Amino acid sequence: MTRSRLLVLAALLLALAGFVALDLGRFFSLAYLQTSQAGLSALYREAPWTVRGAFFALYVAVASLSLPGAAILTLAGGGIFGLGWGLLLVSFASTLGATVSFLAARFVLRDSVQARFGARLAGINQGLARDGALYLFSLRLIPVVPFFVINLAMGLTALRPWTFFWVSQLGMLAGTAVYVNAGTELASISALRDVASPGLLGALALLGLFPLMTKVAMLALQRRRVYARWRGQRPRRFDRNLIVIGAGAGGLVSAYIAAAVKARVTLVEAKVMGGDCLNYGCVPSKALIKSARVAQQMRDAGRFGLQGVEPVVDFPAVMQRIQAVIAAIAPHDSVARYTSLGVEVVQGHATLCNPWTVEIKHPDGSTQRLSARSIVIAAGARPLVPPLPGLAKAGYVTSDTLWARFATLTAAPKRLLVLGGGPIGCELAQSFARLGSKVTLVEQAPRLLLRDDEEVAALVTAALRADGVQVLTSHTALRCETASGADAPVKTLVVTQQGQETALPFDELLCAVGRVARLDGYGLEGLGIPTGRTIDTNAYLETLYPNIYAVGDVAGPYQFTHAAAHQAWYATVNALFGQFRRFRADYQAMPSVTFTEPEVARVGLNEQEARAQGIAHELTRFPLDDLDRAIAEGETEGFVKVLTVPGQDRILGVTIVGSHSGELLAEYVLAMQQGLGLNKILGAIHPYPTMAEANKYAAGAWKRAHAPERLLAWVRRYHDWRRG
């Protein structure tokens, strides 16, 4: 907290302490007001403007400092000035005082609160940005909610001061008028409960609920308008409770959950069960990475007292092993398994006909129509192919098609050119280099892995180059050229850097520049469902139509298998039980892993994101070359880097670089989800010697940096005294 904030906080606390110490509360009692009314009224008749100004200033001070006595002052306004002047003075003074209190809370506390709870408050801030005036107006109409609590809470949000002022002025007017009017009959009041009777409070509370009820009614009307064009097409009875389009990670989890809660669910898949992850992405790439890693370990055996050898790569056998791994995992995602779970699995291409009906075109050309109360779209994504001149003629593969193409090769591609320096490009470039390909990786950006910290990208770049990958950053691909050769066409990629063109020869070109959501062919346009790079959804994963949901790559913002599965839970529960309660998708602890060697794992904020967003943070770093198990394994390259709230152990984000970093990350994901800090990780027993001890030692490094030095100095004196 800055010095100016500390000074303001100290002044506020001093004022409150003075109020209590001097027993100023005795002047804000009903009995004192009644005995002083005659004298105050006489003084008002002698100097009306002076008394009005003094009263106004006093009321602003009391409201600003949230001192007890505002209700008495409001009665005094009616008793001294009458209804007209009393209402005018009190309404504006109370609003001005509330605004000062609002601004003070914002100045002193908001940055600290946002830094600590920013991720959790993001949804609240978005809601207030959209409907803040409505919520504030409702709260102001309900006198049972203490006004100083409203001032403090709203000050911690992003609500604009002018909005706070005019809404407060309007919202408090009804309650203020009741008290000021009662003050005109001050002599007949024996206690404050005579003014604020339970009946009156109840009436005002119902009045406060009116705006919220209006909003609910408006949402219902909005939904009615959305479905207006489909009037008459909504089935009276539905064939299914849920239809899921796409049998990738998101679709499989949605179908599984629906069947588990005994809903009738149909899962529609046009190609193969398991989607991209099983057949083209996560599973085959990790099988390839393992083979490549073993090959590199054979070369590096000399580091462990063994004879290093150059591996003989049987490339067809490597590719056969990949297919065997897919086949071994496929039963987990198979039609037979999901049918046994209670899911109806239909092969075919699904198209939305209206918000409740899906037409399925089967492989034999026949069609089928099914209706459902809710629909989940989990259509996934496809590799992005850049519009490079000559690319189609030269030929290329993507992360989806390389497995079938390379399975026909007798050896790893002699010259492989990888276009794109993201996680997929880096993983595959390193793997094929280790399997014997001469790999060139081209990235348009100044460095690889743009979403990771610069030092992380530097470590991965160095590792790729050590494995023989030619890494060309800041190079822009211009075109592909194909010329006739003696034995085969000569293919080159022309790139440019700082205006100078270079031709890069290749035998195979892998496009790994990203993935785009599959949005075409599902009837989204016909229904008018808005799309950009992905399908537009709200926090509940609803599309334009509240009964149609989207999850996974087609919904974004993450393109991870585990993110799709995570979203699927929210979408399915909301689809089946949303009439009782809906859940906002929670992304506060979304992990990711890049499976290069060294591995890169992260969750929450990394250092460059925290700086870019202006989020206050502390950085704690533990190098793996200080970890016993890493030293024994010869895996000392890397580190654990933890971002925490300044002065606190609450975790904002973690980046781990090194061996098994994906496994090490799980402890931090759990800690962030459950609100556990580094002290809890430090207190947990970690078996020795394991890589997981790196997490404990990182927590220990944070603890040492926050040791209470002054207290320890006194403890040292105590021990000195004990020694005599």
| Distinct helix (H) and strand (E) counts, the chain | 26, 22
When pLDDT is cut at 50, 70 and 90, the band that residue 120 belongs to is low
Neighbours of 552 (CB within 10 A): 35
Which position has the token pair 């202006």? 614
Q: Residue 36 — very low, low, confident or very high, per pLDDT cuts 50/70/90?
A: confident
In this prediction, residues 424-453 reach a mean pLDDT of 97
Residues of the chain with pLDDT > 70, as a percent, come to 88
Q: How many CA atoms lie within 13 A of 715 on its CB side?
A: 6
pLDDT at 204: 47
As beta bridge partners, residue 357 has 354, 371
Which tops the pLDDT comparison, 30 or 301?
301
Residue 93, pLDDT above cutoff 80: yes
Q: Rounded to the nearest 5 degrees, what angle is found at the Cα of 148, between the Cα atoms of 143 and 153?
A: 105
The burial of 225, by beta-carbon neighbours within 10 Å (0-12 exposed, 13-18 middle, 19 or more buried), is given as exposed
Spatial separation of the C-alpha atoms in residues 694 and 592, rounded to whole Å: 19
Residue 444 pLDDT > 60? yes
Q: Which residue has the higher pLDDT, 178 or 712?
A: 712
Mean pLDDT, residues 403-410:
96
Q: How many CA atoms lie within 13 A of 71 on its CB side?
A: 17
Is the model's pLDDT at 212 over the cut of 60? no
Lowest-pLDDT range of 160-169, 528-537, 570-579, 659-668: 160-169
Say what the pLDDT of residue 332 is.
95
Phi, psi of 515 (to 5 degrees): -130, 150
Mean pLDDT of 289-305: 96
Contact 495, 457 (CB under 8 A): no
Q: Which amino acid is at 268?
A: V
Q: What is the mean pLDDT of residues 497-526?
A: 95
| Amino acid letter, 682 | L
Q: Which of 111-115, 161-165, 176-180, 363-367 has the lowest mean pLDDT?
A: 111-115
SS3 70: helix
**pLDDT band at residue 572 using 50, 70 and 90 as cut-offs:** very high
Average pLDDT over residues 286-302: 97
CA dist., res. 51 & res. 341, Å (int)? 79
Share of residues in the chain with pLDDT > 90 (%): 66
Which of 191, 139, 219, 324 shows the shortest CA–CA distance to 578? 219
- The confidence score (pLDDT) of residue 286 equals 97
- For 79, counting Cβ atoms within 10 Å of its Cβ (0-12 exposed, 13-18 middle, 19+ buried), the class is buried
Averaged pLDDT, 706-713? 87
**Which is higher by pLDDT, 135 or 690?**
690
Q: Amino acid letter at 269?
A: E
How far apart are alpha carbons 524 and 546 in whole angstroms?
14
Characterize the bridge pairing of strands 476-483 and 470-472: unpaired
Residue with tokens 């004022």: 15
pLDDT bracket for residue 203 (50, 70, 90): very low
When computed from its CA atoms, the radius of gyration of the chain, rounded to whole angstroms, is 34
- pLDDT level of residue 200 (50, 70, 90 thresholds): very low
> Which pair of tokens denotes residue 288?
């390839």
Q: What is the pLDDT of residue 122?
A: 62
pLDDT digits (tens, 9 = 90+) for 159-189: 888 888 888 888 788 777 877 777 776 555 5
- Residue 102 — very low, low, confident or very high, per pLDDT cuts 50/70/90? confident
Q: What is the mean pLDDT of residues 308-319?
A: 96
Average pLDDT, the chain: 89
Q: Which of 22-26, 112-116, 203-207 has the least mean pLDDT? A: 203-207
Above 90 in pLDDT, residue 635? yes
Using DSSP's 3-state secondary structure scheme, residue 21 falls into: helix
Domains (ranges, CATH) in the chain?
3-218 (no CATH), 240-383+516-577 (3.50.50.60), 391-514 (3.50.50.60), 598-709 (3.30.390.30)
Say if strands 548-550 and 470-472 run parallel, antiparallel, or are unpaired.
unpaired
* Angle of helix 70-105 versus helix 173-183 axis, rounded to 10: 150
Q: Is the pLDDT of residue 446 over 90?
A: yes
Paired tokens of 126: 């978005």
The string of pLDDT tens digits covering residues 131-163 is 677 777 777 766 556 777 888 888 888 788 888
Top-confidence residue, 360 or 120: 360
pLDDT of residue 107: 83
Phi, psi of 687 (to 5 degrees): -65, 145
- According to the model, what pLDDT value does residue 129 have? 66
Look at residues 473, 469, 445, 448 and name the one whose alpha carbon lies nearest to residue 458: 448
Residues 6+ apart with CB under 8 A from 170: 137, 140
Per-residue pLDDT of 514-543, as tens digits, reads 999 999 999 999 999 999 999 999 999 999
Q: What secondary structure, in 3-state letters, does 329-362 show?
A: HHHHHCHHHHHHCCCEEEECEEEEEECCEEEEEC
Residue (of 664, 574, 708) closest to 263 by Cα position: 574
Looking at residue 408, what is its pLDDT? 96
Q: Which residue has better confidence, 19 or 680?
A: 680
Q: What is the mean pLDDT of residues 55-75?
A: 82
